[in-house]
């Protein structure tokens, strides 16, 4: 059965590709803008070079696709790319579509990234396609970006705030996506599944767990979002740092905490209790040391 993965060279999409290959799935194609990345995919995955912002590159990309994993990266064109992919999926009659949204998108309609997810979700629900929507919280693996700050400077810099958010492991997202794509019945169709970890984590919690895992002091960088944005602009485009600042402000206000029902939904689609952040940190710290 032909499966097309959009976003398959990134953190989440790459994990989805790996999970599908581990299950013995074949006829797996991965769309990327980069010819170099298309050549670097794992054995068993075929690279397809195209750009969702350029319809002249679509020829033959979606034809024959029976299952589609739709992930659009954070970008100023995120909504355009998501709706474009959905239109192509409708045109060729994709049999099953799994969309990577975000946890509690309705809590952040003022956040550009969240607003894009809300719009694509609405279009998907009205598309007539068989779909599953995955709504993950903040990824554990985002902390890979902060390795130098954590290890070299003893600071956990992601300003997730004090309320606590149920962060989730990307590998559990990949399992959920693979389960939805390969399901042989309609049990997971036309449903949205929150994807969360087993506990809520504040910024102080994340710093403490990294400190324990590394065996050295790690302090939380704090909740000053203006200072964070100024620092982030050294590594991110200004529009992205601004978008993320609005998002983190929503975290601070308690808009990303979820409910116990979210964990039940996660366990349903993953088929197991999700990984803990403590276990993730111990695993990663062994390599970082």
Q: Which pair of tokens denotes residue 77? A: 């064109």
Q: Round to whole Å and give the CA distance between 48 and 179.
A: 23
Q: What pLDDT does residue 282 have?
A: 98
Q: Which pair of tokens denotes residue 207? A: 């710093």
Q: What pLDDT does residue 1 have?
A: 83
Q: What pLDDT does residue 162 have?
A: 97
DSSP bridge pairs for 47: 30
Q: What pLDDT does residue 115 have?
A: 97
Q: Round to whole Å and give the CA distance between 255 and 107.
A: 6
pLDDT less than 70: residues of the chain: none
Parallel, antiparallel, or unpaired: how do β-strands 3-6 and 67-70 relate?
Answer: parallel
What are the backbone angles phi and psi of residue 191, rounded to the nearest 5°? -135, 155
pTM for the structure as a whole: 0.97
């Amino acid at each position: 059965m032909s499966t097309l993965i959009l976003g398959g060279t990134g953190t989440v999409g790459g994990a989805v590709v790996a999970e599908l290959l581990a299950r013995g799935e074949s006829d797996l194609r991965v769309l990327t803008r980069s010819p170099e990345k298309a050549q670097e995919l794992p054995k068993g995955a075929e690279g397809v070079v195209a750009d969702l912002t350029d319809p002249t590159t679509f020829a033959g990309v979606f034809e024959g696709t029976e299952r589609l994993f739709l992930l659009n990266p954070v970008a100023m064109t995120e909504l355009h790319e998501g709706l474009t992919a959905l239109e192509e999926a409708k045109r060729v009659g994709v049999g099953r579509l799994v969309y990577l949204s975000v946890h509690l998108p309705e809590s952040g309609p003022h956040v550009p990234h969240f607003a894009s997810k809300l719009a694509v979700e609405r279009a998907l629900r009205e598309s007539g396609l068989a779909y599953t929507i995955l709504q993950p919280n903040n990824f554990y693996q985002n902390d890979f970006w902060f390795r130098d700050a954590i290890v070299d400077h003893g600071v956990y810099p992601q300003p997730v705030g004090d309320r606590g958010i149920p962060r989730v492991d990307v590998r559990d997202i990949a399992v959920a996506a693979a389960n939805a794509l390969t399901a042989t019945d309609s049990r997971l169709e036309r449903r949205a599944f929150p994807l969360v970890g087993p506990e809520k984590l504040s910024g102080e919690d994340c710093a403490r767990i990294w400190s324990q895992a590394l065996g050295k002091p790690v302090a939380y960088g704090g909740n000053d979002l203006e200072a964070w944005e100024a620092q982030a602009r050294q590594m991110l485009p200004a529009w992205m740092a601004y978008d993320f600042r609005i998002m983190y402000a929503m975290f601070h206000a308690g808009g990303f905490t979820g409910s116990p029902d979210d964990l039940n939904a996660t366990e349903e689609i993953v088929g197991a209790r999700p990984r803990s952040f403590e276990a993730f940190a111990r695993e990663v710290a062994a390599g970082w040391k």
